[in-house]
Copies of this chain bind each other. A is one copy, B any other.
Amino acid sequence: MLLKHLREEVLEANLELVKRGLVLYTFGNASGVDREQGLVVIKPCGVDYDELKPEHMVVTDLMGVIVDGDLRPSSDLDTHTLLYREFPTIGAVVHTHSEFATSFAQAGLSIPAFGTTHADYFYGPIPVTPPLTDEAIGGRYVHETGLAIVARFRELNLDPLAVPACLVNGHAPFAWGRDAHDAAHNAVVLEAVANMAYRTMLLRPGAEGVSQALLDRHYFRKHGPKATYGQ
């Protein structure tokens, strides 16, 4: 079986989203990329998670052309492949409609960095795209969703691995990471961070985020050449 290991990782990432309560029915998908072969492994569309097996995964090239698989790929495929093409350091993409992150996306609000939980994973606010134009929605919509994420990151001059998630306005979050495990982990933490940001904002309207010093301290404790966290 082509890309057996990557299929297993992508399946496991999909199941992690279910286990953590981020996915209702089939509202989510994860994919991973093999950079050497230029191939993407993605969940098929609308299949129950209970029945998902590695052989159900769909393999496409970086333009989304199916290379292997009998099932139709996730309907969000074109967003995934665009992110792989534009963000060359990422190895996996995850999309969910998780409750709190989606509520921020629906409100058109980015998630401020209110605390160290956030700073441990996201080096600054998690951005939200502007609403898509009617033209973009009426055109290559799924592709345009990816373009909106990339444009927002370029505009804010963000490193996708330093802020491994983006909210799509009126839609829901996308998260990513170095590999499928990392991307799913980031999506789970994103939801926890969104939950606490929501409560922080209701407790104290106008609350400000953490200082740059605290953001730096926590982020670089876990990331970069001077990281000290873990074993």
What is A's interface to B at a CB cutoff of 8 Å? 24-25, 27, 44-47, 71-72, 75, 97, 99-100, 102-109, 114-117, 131-132, 134, 137-138, 141, 170-172, 185, 188-189, 192, 195-204, 207, 210-211, 213-214, 216-217, 221, 228-231
Contacts and interface: CB of A to CB of B under 8 A. Distances in A.
A149 to B, nearest CB: 15
A21 to B, nearest CB: 11
Contacts of A97: 116-117, 192, 196
Contacts of A138: 213, 217
A27 B189 CA distance: 10
A199 B198 contact: yes
A221 B109 contact: no
Contacts of A116: 97, 170-172
A117 to B, nearest CB: 5
Contact of A196 (B72, B103, B114, B229): B103
B115 A199 contact: no
Contacts of A213: 134, 137-138
A140 B129 CA distance: 38
A202 to B, nearest CB: 6
